Structure 1
Amino acid sequence: MTALFAVLCVVPVTVLWWAVRVWRIVTLVEVSGSSMSPDFEHGDRVLIVRRGAFVRLRRGRVVVIDRAAVDAPAHVDPGEGLFLKHVVAAPGDRIPAPFDTLPTFLGEEKVPHGCYLVLGRHPASVDSKQWGYVRADAVSGVVITRIG
């Protein structure tokens, strides 16, 4: 009887402990807007892994960026909330088109350490074309999958 009681108490507590740990690492974000259309549409929900939790930021990943942490130029209002963008260049990568012709990047050949270039999929997307480099600490997480 004591062993059964121990199992009935320990197992739920262990499951709850792991659920809390995982939820702090993995979270759900709802897409708002069309900057990532057609890949992600307004209202889609995506599962993300928070930055630093077993995931490296690299070219090709879709990331969630905290707008308040973006070092946007004075004439660009980054707004509030979160952005969903593709990483198109990581530290040490060559500056890709269309950035290589923008005044912000003229004379630069490679993305500096700790910085990334990001793009939305929609042509009117607000992204690194307006902001310049995005610091690694502005990235909240990496998209794992779309939920719906």
Structure 2
Amino acid sequence: MAVCALLAAFAVTAAGVAWWVRRRWLVVSIAGDSMRPTLRPGDRVVARRTTLAGIRRGDVVVVRTPAGWSATPPRGLLVKRAVALPGDPVPSDVAVQPAGGGRRVPPGRLVLFGDNPPASRDSRHIGYFTATDLLGVVVGPRRYGRRGPT
């Protein structure tokens, strides 16, 4: 009987730990070339879940594909680099420039670029990403293993 109680307690504890880890961390497999040379297809990265306040310019972040996304994957996850945050100057190559002559990234928005511009669909094409699409920031070192061919 004591063994059953011990096993049940272990199972409940393990489930609690798994739930806690999943709420705070995310493992993402890189599928495309948009972040080359930093990340390659097949690389896996770990991201710490955070809000816009936890992001710094230059961080590699994980976001949900935005509404109206027309590229593949249609509603998956994207890994990009944060190049401008709310209040920062808007880079000149962002697709959607602010109306009314404002030259700053608006609150709740961020500008994300891939490290490999010819292979990346990012703020250069679709404009701002929203803070609600942000899932987390990739923690270093950047690579945690590969799947598939090198």
Q: Is the 8 A contact 2:90 2:97 kept in 1?
A: no
Question: Structure 2 matches for 1:9-88, cutoff 5 A?
Answer: 10=9, 13-52=12-51, 56-67=54-65, 69-70=66-67, 77-79=70-72, 80=74, 81-88=76-83
C-alpha distance in 2, partners of 1:12/1:103? 51
C-alpha distance in 1, partners of 2:86/2:125? 19
Q: Is the 8 A contact 1:70 1:138 kept in 2?
A: no
Q: Is the 8 A contact 2:96 2:126 kept in 1?
A: no
Letter in 2 for 1:137: T
Per the TM alignment, residue 70 of structure 1 is displaced from its structure 2 partner at its CA by 4.1
- Residue 104 in 1 paired to residue 97 in 2? yes
Partner of 2:116: helix, strand, or coil?
coil
Q: Is the 8 A contact 1:71 1:134 kept in 2?
A: no
Q: 1:5 to 1:71 in 2, by over 3 A?
A: closer
Per the TM alignment, residue 14 of structure 1 is displaced from its structure 2 partner at its CA by 2.9
Give the match for residue 124 of structure 2.
129
Structure 1 residue aligned with 2:109, among 94, 115, 138? Answer: 115
Per the TM alignment, residue 97 of structure 1 is displaced from its structure 2 partner at its CA by 4.2
C-alpha distance in 2, partners of 1:82/1:5? 41
CA RMSD of aligned residues (A): 2.7
Unaligned runs of 5+ in 2: 146-150
Q: 1:10 to 1:110 in 2, by over 3 A?
A: same
Per the TM alignment, residue 139 of structure 1 is displaced from its structure 2 partner at its CA by 1.5
Per the TM alignment, residue 11 of structure 1 is displaced from its structure 2 partner at its CA by 5.5
Number of residue pairs aligned between Structure 1 and Structure 2: 138
How does the TM-score come out when normalised to structure 1? 0.77
